[in-house]
Structure 1
Amino acid sequence: MSYLEATNDLYKQAALTPDVGLCCTTNPVWQLPGLSIPTIMQEMNYGCGSTVSASDLVNDPKVLYVGVGGGMELLQFAYFSRQKGGVTGVDVVDEMLSACKRNFKIAEEENPWFRSEFVNLLKGDALNLPIESESIDVAAQNCLFNIFKLEDLKKAVAEMYRVLKPHGRLVMSDPVCEQPMNETLRNDDRLRALCLSGSIPIKDYVKVLTDAGFGTIEIRARKSYRILSPNHYPTEELIHIESIEIAAIKDPMPEDGPCVFSGKTAIYYGGEPYLDDKNGHVLLQNQPLAVCDKTAAALEALKKPIHISESTWHYDGGGCC
């Protein structure tokens, strides 16, 4: 059995018998006017963060969500795109698609505004999406891509890039790990399916996105996720796994490389009212400006009175680029 078959089998069972906390971390459930999340959807929330952000979902976007789970985030996306077929959910597991359809009937009873026709559920593979090229405004996945081995991860990201319109957004939440893992962990198909042993460092995750062509990357959140301890897992050291929420935007690739926003800020504290770096960035005296990592390095190299903060890993827009 391949690791992908093991993953499909695990989530088939999770669809038939909901497994609270299977691979998720505790996240607050969105509280929005008129939005009620059915309990069964919360129990089947097999994610490690959130991919739903109101700032991404303006003007009735066409949304794609890969790996449907119990339908919670599909319902949340539909809240912002109330049109027939406004949201498409793709999953390779028949049982998960069936469970999602049943959950939508409950959601209709709890939400007068919601109709199941807002969401189009399709059988499909993340490595070969049944979606037309450049037809999607916002694509999303939650705690799925970390399961893929590197070559499959590249294929999955390339497929998301293909279906997005220019300037479209790929919004994701996935576990990451800055520590090395031994081969026993890496090759354990069940641990990979459980969103544990496939975790890679943030810089490697970002590189897959930028290599696919995404010109802008926003790291929006970073938090603790799991611990792999020697008393529970085949490891001789404690391994800390985190989860990140990240958006990759299909902007043209700048000539000097991608803009990666990791939450850095520049503050000019010199004697003039402002500083112009002659490269498109004007820093007002003692006013913070969110900057991408590339710009942060360039400003630091100027040797001017500019304070550059460390990465906060919480970027919410308003940056320099």
Structure 2
Amino acid sequence: MSYLDTTHDVYKEAALTPDVGLCCTTNPIWELPGLKIPKIMQEMNYGCGSTVNARDLTNSPRVLYVGVGGGMELLQFSYFSRQKGGVIGVDVVDEMLEASKKNFKEAEAQNSWFKSEFVELVKGDALQLNVADNSIDVAAQNCLFNIFKADDLKKAISEMYRVLKPHGRLVMSDPTCEQPMNETLRNDERLRALCLSGSLPIAEYVKMLTDAGFGTIEIRARKPYRILDPKNYPTDELIYIESIEVAAIKDPMPEDGPCIFTGKAAIYYGEEDFFDDGKGHTLIKNQPLAVCDKTAGALKALGRDDIYFSESTFHYDGGGCC
């Protein structure tokens, strides 16, 4: 039995018997006018963050969500895309698809604006999506891709890239870990299925996205997630796992490499009203400008003593140098 079979079994169990503790997110439940989330969806919120962001969801986008869980994020996406089949939910677990379908009936009862036909539930595999090229505005997954081993992760990201329209965005939430994990942890199929031992360092995670061709990466949040301690897990040291929320945008790859936003800012405080580097970056005096890591490096290389650079906050919410 492969690790993907183990994952299938874990989420089959979670569909049949909701497991509130399966994943853990510190995100509050969305509170929007007229949006009510059924309790069963909250109990089946098997994610480690949120992939729903209003600025991604303008003009009734076509949304693809892989790994449906109890349907909570599908319902949230539908709030912004109120059209038949506007949101496609893909899952390989029949029982999870059935549970979500049932939950949508409850959502209909609680939300006068919502119709189950807004969501198209599809049996499918993240490694081979039955979705047309360049047809999706926003693709998303929450606490799924960290389960995949390297080769499968490359396939899953490549499939998301394929189905996105130009400038479309892949929005993800996954556990990450900066500490090395021993082989016992890495090879424990159940711990991988539980979104623990497959966690990658952020730099490796981001490189997977840029290697697939995404020209712009936004790291939007970085939060505490889990602890693996020696008393309860096969490790000699305490391991700290975080979750991150990331948007990978299908922009053309710049000649000088991807724009990766990790929450850095540049502040000019010189004698003039502004500083222009001649490459499209204008810093207004004493006004922070969000900059990608690449631009921060280029500005630092100028050797000026009148520009301050903040460290990465790993929280980026738009605007800035690109």
TM-score by length of 2: 0.99
| Deviation beyond 4 Å, 4+ runs, structure 1 | none
Question: Quick one: distance in 1 between partners of 2:27 and 2:247?
Answer: 18
Question: Quick one: distance in 1 between partners of 2:34 and 2:274?
Answer: 46
Query: After superposition, where does 1:44-59 map in structure 2 within 5 Å?
Result: 44-59=44-59
Query: After superposition, where does 1:184-223 map in structure 2 within 5 Å?
Result: 184-223=184-223
The answer to whether 1:131 aligns with 2:131 is yes
Report what 1:234 is aligned to. 234
Question: Quick one: distance in 2 between partners of 1:226 and 1:60?
Answer: 35
Report what 1:310 is aligned to. 311
Letter in 2 for 1:29: I
Q: Pick which of 299-308 and 10-19 moved more.
A: 299-308
Structure 1 position 27, deviation (Å): 2.0
**1:217-274 deviation digits (Å, cap 9, x = unpaired):** 0000000000000011000001000000000000000000000000000001111111
**1:82-135 deviation digits (Å, cap 9, x = unpaired):** 000000000000000000000000000000000000000000000000111110
Letter in 2 for 1:36: K
**Structure 2: which 5+ residue stretches go unaligned?**
none
TM-score by length of 1: 0.99
Report what 2:30 is aligned to. 30
Question: Quick one: distance in 1 between partners of 2:267 and 2:44?
Answer: 44
Report what 1:145 is aligned to. 145
Letter in 2 for 1:191: L
**Structure 1: which 5+ residue stretches go unaligned?**
none
Letter in 2 for 1:196: L
Structure 1 position 26, deviation (Å): 3.0
Structure 1 position 25, deviation (Å): 2.1
Question: Quick one: distance in 2 between partners of 1:90 and 1:24?
Answer: 22
Report what 2:80 is aligned to. 80
* Secondary structure of 1:105's aligned partner: helix
Question: Quick one: distance in 1 between partners of 2:53 and 2:75?
Answer: 13
**1:269-299 deviation digits (Å, cap 9, x = unpaired):** 1111111111110111111100000000111
Q: CA RMSD in A?
A: 0.5
Letter in 2 for 1:5: D
Letter in 2 for 1:90: V
Report what 1:158 is aligned to. 158
Question: Quick one: distance in 2 between partners of 1:36 and 1:242?
Answer: 28
**1:44-88 deviation digits (Å, cap 9, x = unpaired):** 000000000000000010000000000000000000000000000
**1:149-199 deviation digits (Å, cap 9, x = unpaired):** 011000000000000000000000000000000000000000000000000
Report what 1:69 is aligned to. 69
Question: Quick one: distance in 1 between partners of 2:287 and 2:245?
Answer: 27
